[in-house]
Amino acid sequence: MGNTFGLNGFSIGSSRQVSSSKWWTGVTLVGHEFRTRERKWDHTKMKTIRKHRTFVLIISGVVTFVSACAEAPTATVDAARARVEAVAAEGQVYAPQEYAAAREAVGRLDAELQAQADRFALTRSYDRVAQLSAEVETAADTVDAAIEAEKERLQTETRGFVTDAEAALDKARPDIAELDDEDVVGLRAGVDDVESALAAVESNLQAGEYADAHQGARSALSAARDIGSSLAAMAAAEEGVDEDAATRAVRGGFDLPRRAYATGQPLEPGPYRVRLTDESAPVVDQEPPMTTRWLQFLHEEDGSIAGRALATVVPDSEIEEVAVDWVPRNQVRVDELLGGDYVRVWLNRSGSSYLVHMPTSAP
């Protein structure tokens, strides 16, 4: 009984030991499985996180790339446009051709910007925009330079007009003083008008209004010359001399002694009047502006245009290097050169001489 109990007790005890061992083993297995599953879950979670991060990085990179590709060089474009706007006011007055070219450059820039805006973002390229912006800046610089050059020309010519007008008045005043009052009322009023015009010219120069000053000085000079012509006509009438003979040269009238060719156009012998235009030939290389001017030859009878020729401009300060005898002052002179092979028409106006050499044989 005792052995059995003992055996049974042992057996029971063994069973309990075995059951306890199985229980612990089960717990251990469950814990291991749990940890294994936990590791698998952590691994899966990490892979998901990595994929998510990779996706986010890719999307961020694409967004950054698209943003970079789609962004126009706004600051550069705005600066170029501002440069043209800065020269607009004076450019339209003093350099209209150069300013028009600058506006065309802005138009090309705007067209390229629109062309890129119409494209898909990833295919946009603003390299051409940067190049056109630089061209706009260069065009604006050209306008600036042309403005300064034209201002300098206008100031120089205006000073010349003023000098010539004052000289004409200085010459006219003694002659006016010798005439009877009833004969010179209109002339004295004319002198006063010219003096007032010259004062306005000086004010415009001081204010930087060079175009207005130039126009006013030209008009003042023309009025001063008219006073001189009137005095010459009055003197000629007293001396019994034909008025046309006294004033013709001053007005640009001359007799062409033989057939000559003006820019290939034949001019027959006879009376003509030469007129100075504002046109000049295009500037070549480093040649200074306004070294040539076009002259028109008019039939003296009816004022119709008979032809035109390009004249070389020589300032009075340099004319001594060309002239061998007397220099015409504010009048026209005609000479035959090289035994009649050429006819030279020499017009002097406002401190400059305009020389045309016309061949007498067909070109």
Domains of the chain: 156-247 (1.20.5), 254-359 (no CATH)
- What is residue 2's predicted lDDT score, i.e. its pLDDT? 45
- What is residue 92's predicted lDDT score, i.e. its pLDDT? 94
Read off the pLDDT of residues 251-282 as tens digits, 9 standing for 90 and up. Answer: 888 999 999 999 999 999 999 999 988 888 77
Is the model more confident about 51 or about 137?
137
- What is residue 154's predicted lDDT score, i.e. its pLDDT? 93
pTM above 0.85, yes or no: no
Is the model more confident about 238 or about 296?
296
- What is residue 13's predicted lDDT score, i.e. its pLDDT? 46
Band of pLDDT at residue 208, cut at 50, 70 and 90: very high
Q: Which of 327, 309, 308 is nearest to 317 (CA)?
A: 327
Whether the predicted pLDDT of 149 surpasses 60: yes
- d(CA 71, CA 263) in angstroms, rounded, equals 57
- d(CA 51, CA 47) in angstroms, rounded, equals 6
- d(CA 345, CA 359) in angstroms, rounded, equals 11
Band of pLDDT at residue 14, cut at 50, 70 and 90: very low
Average pLDDT, the chain: 80
Lookup result for tokens 């003197």 = 235
What phi and psi values does residue 35 have, to the nearest 5 degrees?
Answer: -65, -40
Band of pLDDT at residue 15, cut at 50, 70 and 90: very low
Q: Cβ distance 243 to 233 under 8 Å?
A: yes
Whether the predicted pLDDT of 8 surpasses 70: no
